[in-house]
Amino acid sequence: MSQLRTLLVVGAGGHGKAVAEAALLSGQWQRVNFVDDRWPALEAVCGMPVLGGLDRLAEYAATADGAIAAVGNNRVRRVWQERIVAAGGASLVSVVHPRACVSPSAVIGPGSAIMALAVVGAEARLGQGVILNAGAVVDHDVVMHDYAHLGVGACLAGGVVVGMSAWLQAGCSAGYGVVIEPGCVVTPGQALIARD
């Protein structure tokens, strides 16, 4: 009989729920516990327990096999991820939904979340704490720096570079070779093309 593996999800909001479900569906995790500062008012999410607030993160991490910061806000995700690493105990892990398509030549940094129907192409490189929401496409040779975030259905053509903590909101697209500056926020449905 195999050991049941427990994932600690820091953040029990919408993204946290999606990450927890993806983790369980992946088969790599059999239990999920949450940490969220809304505890004790929030005791459970989708039938999974909220153990307590972030002030006891080190204690909870010590009882888990892995942990991930699951919040859409890039700055907050970075802070929480740094707290997970500093706490020790659980390893910082990435979660990949089983219905995502990830090239075997792609590199995915720790603490990243790749959601349902997302695509990661050949030789793509994702830094740590990256989010690819449902249906996002990262084509071949794309580089996404740490804490970058693609909204639902965002599409990056080959060779795009996304700077640290940049956020492409739902439905955005970037053409071949576009460079998106660190911290940039691209609004829903906007298309970016490379300049000659």
The DSSP annotation for 54-123 comes to GGGHHHHHTT-SEEEE--S-HHHHHHHHHHHHHH-SSEE--EE-TT-EE-TT-EE-TT-EE-TT-EE-TT
The mean per-residue pLDDT over the stretch 173-189 comes to 94
CATH for 95-187 is 2.160.10.10
Which pLDDT score is estimated for 125? Answer: 98
Residues of the chain with pLDDT > 90, as a percent, come to 93
- Answering whether pTM is above 0.85, one says yes
CA dist 88 and 156 (Å) reads 35
Instruction: Encode pLDDT of 81-136 as tens digits.
Output: 999 999 988 999 999 999 999 999 999 999 999 999 999 999 999 999 999 999 99
Structure confidence at residue 192 as a pLDDT band (50, 70, 90): confident
Structure confidence at residue 196 as a pLDDT band (50, 70, 90): low
Choice among 15, 97, 140, 145 that is catalytic: 140
Q: Is the pLDDT of residue 195 over 80?
A: no
Amino acid of residue 140: H
Asked if 68 and 111 count as a contact pair (C-beta separation under 8 A), the reply is yes
Q: Is the pLDDT of residue 18 over 90?
A: yes
Which pLDDT score is estimated for 3? Answer: 80
Peptide bond into 40 cis (omega under 30): yes
Q: Is the pLDDT of residue 49 over 80?
A: yes
Q: Any binding-site annotation on 149?
A: yes
Q: Is the pLDDT of residue 184 over 80?
A: yes
Lookup: tokens for 30: 């059999």
Chosen CATH of 6-93 out of 3.40.50.300, 3.40.50.20, 3.50.50.60, 1.10.3720.10: 3.40.50.20
Structure confidence at residue 41 as a pLDDT band (50, 70, 90): very high
Which pLDDT score is estimated for 1? Answer: 35
Q: Any binding-site annotation on 97?
A: no
**How is the beta sheet containing 179-180 ordered, strand by strand?**
107-108, 125-126, 143-144, 161-162, 179-180
Which pLDDT score is estimated for 98? Answer: 98
Domain boundaries, the chain: 6-93, 95-187
Number of H helices, E strands in the chain: 3, 23
Active site residue 140: yes
What's the angle, vertex CA 157, arms to CA 114 and CA 147, rounded to 5?
40
User: What mean pLDDT, rounded, does the chain reach?
Assistant: 95
CA dist 51 and 33 (Å) reads 7
Asked if 89 and 64 count as a contact pair (C-beta separation under 8 A), the reply is yes
**Please, what sign has the CA dihedral across residues 181, 184, 185, 190?**
negative
